Structure 1
Amino acid sequence: MKSARARALSWTLGMTLAAMLPQAAVSAAFQDPLDVPAAVDVASLTSRIFAVAGGPERLFAVGAQGTILASDDQGARWEQIPSPVSSDLTAITFATKADGFIVGHDSVLMRSRDAGRSWTRQFDVRTLNQAMLDHYRKLPAGEADGEAIRQWIAELEQRVASGAPLPFFDVWFADSRLGFAIGAFNLLLVTEDGGEHWTPWMERTENPRGAHLYAVRGTPGPDGEVYIAGELGLLMRFDRASRRFVAVPTPYEGTYFSMAVDGDTLVVAGLRGNAFLSRDRGRAWTRLDTRTTASIAAVSRMEGGRFALLAQNGGVLVADRDGRITPAGAPLGRSSYALAVAAGGAVAIGTDAGVKRVAVAAPTP
């Protein structure tokens, strides 16, 4: 199976999806990572970390082989949280202070109801493909998206037969009820009841080539904007009238791995240092001069209308309101995949050797 966002962020980032396959430990007898809880040991603190995010008064990080970490001091120290799987985990978010969601390889979608202290599985490849197939088979034959639905039925019948997973790459909630989980080959699930039920929406995207979907972000609230970014220069905005994701033209035809939104302002970034800023919801774009050919692995909103961008080599760049880029410190010099803004003028960076807290230089007056 072609691979996952985090694995892609191993960053040749030409997106040869073979690199995205989970790295199972070699053993005499194969153990399905869905049946094996993540190992609880000190080595987890130096695992590859593919996502870092703020939770209810804590920072959380997820990564290779089911690793889940939490920090109560804004990223200075981390502790391991038990995980029911050892599949690679690619994204984490919280819909409320109590309700958290994690997604990853093997079609894993997990939920916490206790502010991230414990996690249970909602879906994996052994249940998701069949659930999506059952959903599409029940839709009316005269549905407007009938052709797309027929194609998904055929695709999912093959996946159910073969057991082939669709990896998730990101998850995000607009409010306590409306959430989105996205992934490979146009995978899109939506919940409108706070994660109790998830509905496939793959037929509701303007994505005819079935590009991978890597980042979903928006403005909070039930009426806020929602955007999805992915391969082939793909950017889509949720149109509430039609309940579809419609394409938004962008200046780049390569892959976008990351995105951040602040009101009408959004930044999309990806391969070879390409990053673009729009202040009018994607109608006009300005190229950000990142001064690097390293791919941009993550973008995060900062105070004062600024954005932090993370390059694959661990370099942090800060874009101000006018799109001017300032390096925020020397690159870490190691593969880096995720970034979250922490308190005290710092960022927490997910790397190939755990989470690193890095001070961000104050903006030049």
Structure 2
Amino acid sequence: MKLRSLTPLLVVLMAPIVGCTKDDNKNTSTSDGSGGGAWAVGEDATMVRLNPAGDVWYYPLEIEGDLLAIACKGQETGMAVGEDGVVLRTDDSGESWTQIDVGTRARLRSVIFSGTTPAYIAGDGIVLRSDDDGRSFTPVPDAEGDFTAVTTTAKGTLAWLTTASGQIWQLDGETLTPVFTTSEGPLSGIAATPDGGSVVAVGAGGLVLRSDDGGAKWASVTTPTSRDLHAVRISRTADLVVAVGAAGVVLRLDDELGASAEELLEPGLALRALHLSIDGHGHAVGDHGVVVHSNDAGLAWEALDLGLEEALFGLDDLHGEAHL
């Protein structure tokens, strides 16, 4: 795995309003749906977007506090969540953002769309479910715990969540059930295949937990790293898992190439979020505005200098194709 510095990207500063202009070509995916761009959120309401051509836009949002996660659906819809119960939604590829009142001031840490109408938000002591594609949300009963991440299937009928106390919960409709508990520390990331057949969660000390029967049984996976892992992706065929974490570690569990781990950053820094498209394009982001890019599903990485100092916590891409 190689990390190479790039010439700084062209920076295009936006006017001090929420959103963009229609004349700007900010599509983060090419017309055939392939990846190459990214949309990240982070500290002090930071929002930054880059397209495959290397152009960068900063969004001066009129809110305060950290944005902790972002999720996109198709090429027009996106949703960002964060501190103080903030939920922002766009349906015009970021030209404008609307703040949705979801009835909570909790710290919201994770958001995800399904391929149909359900969508989910998870945070400290709260889980929110939407049945209208994220336009409105209702709280899920008996959501006990500080939820750190949520994932769902393509149909959105099932969801799985991780907690800071090391639990994995399954959500089926409005029924939230704990399905696994580890004593090895907090869990911070989770991902599922589109059919929900395989689910993987990551956490402290290089912990990887995996289920290949739809979340019924879980097993710990031996990995070549002891670094804390913060985010994870699994391929639709379940033959590749990629996770990122402390010291910029990139962990790959590849059925063909085996397990590998390489650290891209200094020990005091971390990669906090990861996005990989089905074609292998993707990014990881983290502390002090770190952004790295891969064209081969995380085998090699390039550093992108966006001139940011704020930590980036959430990442996604406006895309026409599925994730990795």
Q: Which residue of 1 aligns with 2:116?
A: 97
List gaps (5 residues or longer) in structure 1. Answer: 1-8, 11-41, 130-165, 345-365
CA contact (8 A) 2:70 2:111 kept: yes
Question: Which residue type is aligned with residue 78 of structure 2?
Answer: L
**Aligned with residue 274 of structure 1, among 245, 249, 256:** 249
CA contact (8 A) 1:58 1:70 kept: yes
Q: Which residue of 1 aligns with 2:139?
A: 121
TM-score scaled by structure 2? 0.72
Q: Which has the higher helix share?
A: 1
Q: Which residue of 1 aligns with 2:165?
A: 185
The change in CA–CA distance for 1:292 and 1:84 in structure 2 (over 3 A counts) is: same
Q: Give 1:227-246 correspondences, 5 Å limit.
A: 227-240=200-213, 243-246=216-219
Q: Distance in 2 between matches of 1:92 and 1:214?
A: 13
Q: Which residue of 1 aligns with 2:272?
A: 297
**Aligned with residue 198 of structure 1, among 176, 186, 193:** 176
In the alignment of these two chains, the number of paired residues is 257
1:328 Cα deviation from its structure 2 partner: 3.1
Q: Superposition RMSD on alpha carbons, in Å? A: 2.6
1:234 Cα deviation from its structure 2 partner: 0.6
Q: Which residue of 2 aligns with 1:334?
A: 310
CA contact (8 A) 1:52 1:61 kept: yes
The change in CA–CA distance for 1:316 and 1:302 in structure 2 (over 3 A counts) is: farther
Question: Which residue type is aligned with residue 306 of structure 1?
Answer: H
Residues 1:170 and 2:149 aligned together: yes
Q: Which residue of 2 aligns with 1:82?
A: 101
1:273 Cα deviation from its structure 2 partner: 1.3
Q: Distance in 1 between matches of 2:160 and 2:137?
A: 18
The change in CA–CA distance for 1:92 and 1:44 in structure 2 (over 3 A counts) is: farther
CA contact (8 A) 1:295 1:311 kept: yes
Instruction: Map Cα deviations across residues 300-357 of structure 1 (whole Å, 9 max, x no partner).
Output: 013521331112122211123271111233341112111111359xxxxxxxxxxxxx
Q: Which has the higher strand share?
A: 2
Instruction: Map Cα deviations across residues 179-225 of structure 1 (whole Å, 9 max, x no partner).
Output: 1011121222113x4x23221213xx5x3x242111111221143x2
The change in CA–CA distance for 1:287 and 1:331 in structure 2 (over 3 A counts) is: farther
The change in CA–CA distance for 1:330 and 1:214 in structure 2 (over 3 A counts) is: same
Give secondary structure in 2 for the equivalent of 1:253.
coil
Q: Give 1:1-365 correspondences, 5 Å limit.
A: 45-55=63-73, 57-105=76-124, 107-123=125-141, 127-129=142-144, 166-176=145-155, 177-191=157-171, 193=172, 195-202=173-180, 205=181, 207=182, 209-223=183-197, 225-240=198-213, 243-262=216-235, 263=237, 264-280=239-255, 284-288=258-262, 290-293=264-267, 294-321=269-296, 323-342=299-318
The change in CA–CA distance for 1:254 and 1:201 in structure 2 (over 3 A counts) is: same
Larger RCO (CA under 8 A, 6+ residues apart): 2
CA contact (8 A) 2:161 2:168 kept: yes
**Moved segments of 4+, more than 4 Å:** none
TM-score scaled by structure 1? 0.64
1:96 Cα deviation from its structure 2 partner: 4.3
Query: Radius of gyration: which is bigger?
Result: 1
List gaps (5 residues or longer) in structure 2. Answer: 1-41, 44-59
Q: Distance in 1 between matches of 2:151 and 2:129?
A: 13
Question: Which residue type is aligned with residue 329 of structure 1?
Answer: D
Question: Which residue type is aligned with residue 151 of structure 2?
Answer: W
Q: Which residue of 2 aligns with 1:31?
A: none
Give secondary structure in 2 for the equivalent of 1:313.
helix
